[in-house]
Structure 1
Amino acid sequence: MMSSDVAGAVRVARAAARYEWTWTRANLIRFCENLGWEASDTEDGVTVTTNLVVRKPTAMIYLDAAALADLEEFDQDLLEVVVIVARAESSETSAATQSCFTRIAAALSTTLGPGTHSYPSGEPAPAWDLEKVFIRLGMVPGLIGLYLVNPAYQASIDAFQDEHDIDD
């Protein structure tokens, strides 16, 4: 059975859309505390346990790595946060994961409006380009994540994809 928290995904997206992001580690810790999450900042990075109702309620934190710092493009150290909003059992089918993804995307669209990005087919993608955060819903086999992305980082990804004619 797919373990998902649709209401939790909406709550996180709404909080992220309203938050005053500065994209620093300290700012991330405050965001987590505001949501009642456990976050610890160590020399090795930030670990986060969320209060979403999913198996292994975690968020993955991606910080500006040394390779990216060498490019001197980013002055913030936080690139993106991936909040796990659904996790499948090992025997879960891709159809069940897709169905769950569709439900979460619909709930997010009701809250945030239609997506601001499109798939190559022209259909709206579950992604929202907001002033202080880029929010998108992503899926890999057995896992659905709500991505909270630093807009400067997302702009660099978009520019690279445009330059190299890469579709999402």
Structure 2
Amino acid sequence: MKLNDLRDNQGARQGRVRVGRGIGSGLGKTAGRGQKGQKSREGVSIKGFEGGQMPLHMRIPKRGFNNIFAKDYAEVNLGAIQKAVDSGKLTATDITQAELNAAGLTRGGKDGVRVLGKGEFSAKLNFTVAGVSKSAREAIEKAGGSVTIPEIVPAAEKAAAKKGKTLAAKKAGK
């Protein structure tokens, strides 16, 4: 056998069928699309269409509600924080979202961290977080720590304050 004798097995490679190339090809005239109608044309997108009847996805009752104003908190339990303190991953005494992220305890949470009270906790730590459950607050204070929740100013109030500053600056300039 020589390199110039190498070939695929018979039928291993099948040629592309060229449709719509005359009656002699066997796939001429309608080119395998049947006859007439929207589906025989190019660029059809009528997946959920049922001939004018109300489509199934609209007939079925909808469930639930997606609150677009819901806060996105990263949640972490006290037990996980205690485990990180014991293993040396968490060494700071003032705990914020940055420290929890660095220790690998939280991810995401664009509106901050919320501490929950599941697990045993005995470390004396000071937390500055967006939220804390009642049981978590009790456990932290019992261990000798403290919880601070920074006050969040709504965007509307920020805008109003900024607008007031610009008006005052304009009046002072006159």
Structure holding more strand per residue: 1
Same fold (TM over 0.5): no
Of the two, which has the highest radius of gyration? 2
